[in-house]
Structure 1
Amino acid sequence: MQYIEKYWLRLWLIGIILLSMMIFLNRHIVNDITIGGIMDHQLATNAARVNEIQDSWMINGQLDMARLSMAIDLFFIAIYSMGAFGAGRVLSKKSSALYVKLGWLIMFSAAIFCLTDYAETICQNIQIWQMGGDDKMAKLAANMQIPKNIAFLISLIGIIIILFVQNFFMKKKI
């Protein structure tokens, strides 16, 4: 835990870099069937739609790029979540009640993000590597979108607030 607390910013930034890589890769897996790229796969609520998306990637020579993006996502989830959790943990140890509350909120959000994004991404990876959609996994992955995105945004905005306050208002760094 001390490593995460000491290097939270590095972990978080590496997570942001991995997210940027996935956003870049997503441009290369967009086609007539998957206008939103990976997002379409994440939102597919049934096996038929998953199969349609995966078949379009195979036909268009984009399947390996989609698989790479989903594999990177597994690393992104862990690294970003550790960085965000570490930021929250450091903040929760401060003397200010406001920092403590923000720290706990970031830690909670990082944990929820980690759990929901792994549930989604593992379901996606199983389906894409088996080249077959599964109704239950597709539905589970799609249902993770809202809690995952809310938790991600809370942790992201919380950390941006930390960095802003640290760099512009505090003499001692967090």
Structure 2
Amino acid sequence: MMRESRLERHFWRFWLGGLLILAAMIAMNPWFANAVSPWGIRDHQAAATALRVDAIQAAWQTAGVMNLARFGMALDLVYIGVYSYGAYCGGRLFARSDGAALRRLGWVIVGAAVVVGFADYLETICQFVQAVTFKGDDRLASIAATAQPIKSTAFLVTFVGLLVALFLRRRSRRAA
């Protein structure tokens, strides 16, 4: 049996840790859903104008969850670093593989992990500033709304890519 490398340990710890934090944030999201923001935090992420951000935050304030929303955004900042680093480590791990397909997939995951980290930090920092100041800003809202689909796509590439890479590695180990 092969001994787990430091890179593989980091991959498992950070990637799974990031997914655990993501699960906690998903579990919190229903508290932010209301008539103004039926999709909860996601509506705040996609709000492209200060007027929309102000409406969402006012509804959260009325519901008594504005401080929880700020906490959720702060937690998101932690999640981004943990998940992105874990996905990056996973991509690097698979980029070192003997198989060409797994090696290429690993490099795609590495690139997507960098994109998800950058785009998600950009989006969440813009959100967090508006939440902390309790004031929408057209420029920050626009940046967050632009970054949101980029980070979502990159996240899907890392998540699905890592699952496929794990499957391919397992299949190649069974064949050996």
What range is the shorter-chain TM-score in?
over 0.9
Matched, 1:112 2:115: yes
Q: Distance in 1 between matches of 2:157 and 2:61?
A: 36
Q: Compared with structure 1, are the counterparts of its residues 117 and 108 closer, same or farther at alpha carbon in structure 2 (3 Å cutoff)? A: same
SS at structure 1 position matched to 2:173 = coil
Moved more, 109-118 or 94-103: 94-103
SS at structure 1 position matched to 2:157 = helix
Q: Distance in 1 between matches of 2:33 and 2:6?
A: 39
2:68 corresponds to which letter in structure 1?
A: M
Q: Distance in 1 between matches of 2:174 and 2:15?
A: 22
Report if the CA contact (8 A) 1:5-1:89 is conserved. no
Equivalent residue, structure 2, for 1:79: 82
Q: Matched residue pairs, number?
A: 171
Report if the CA contact (8 A) 1:4-1:82 is conserved. no
Q: Distance in 2 between matches of 1:148 and 1:167?
A: 28
Report if the CA contact (8 A) 1:113-1:148 is conserved. yes
Structure 1, unpaired ranges of 5+: none
Q: Distance in 2 between matches of 1:166 and 1:92?
A: 12
Report if the CA contact (8 A) 1:84-1:155 is conserved. yes
Report if the CA contact (8 A) 2:106-2:165 is conserved. no
Report if the CA contact (8 A) 1:87-1:103 is conserved. yes
Could you state the TM-score of these two structures normalised by the residue count of structure 1? Answer: 0.93
Equivalent residue, structure 2, for 1:23: 26
2:106 corresponds to which letter in structure 1?
A: G
- Percent of residue pairs identical: 37
Alignment map for 1:161-172 (pairs within 5 Å): 161-171=164-174
Matched, 1:95 2:93: no
Q: After TM superposition, give the deviation of residue 3 of structure 1 in Å.
A: 4.9
Structure 2, unpaired ranges of 5+: none
Q: Compared with structure 1, are the counterparts of its residues 23 and 152 closer, same or farther at alpha carbon in structure 2 (3 Å cutoff)? A: same
Q: After TM superposition, give the deviation of residue 99 of structure 1 in Å.
A: 1.4
Per-residue CA deviations over 1:137-164 (Å, capped at 9, x if unaligned) read 0000000122111111010001111222
Matched, 1:51 2:54: yes
Report if the CA contact (8 A) 1:33-1:56 is conserved. yes
Report if the CA contact (8 A) 1:4-1:83 is conserved. no
Per-residue CA deviations over 1:17-70 (Å, capped at 9, x if unaligned) read 111111111011111111110011001111111011111101110112211211
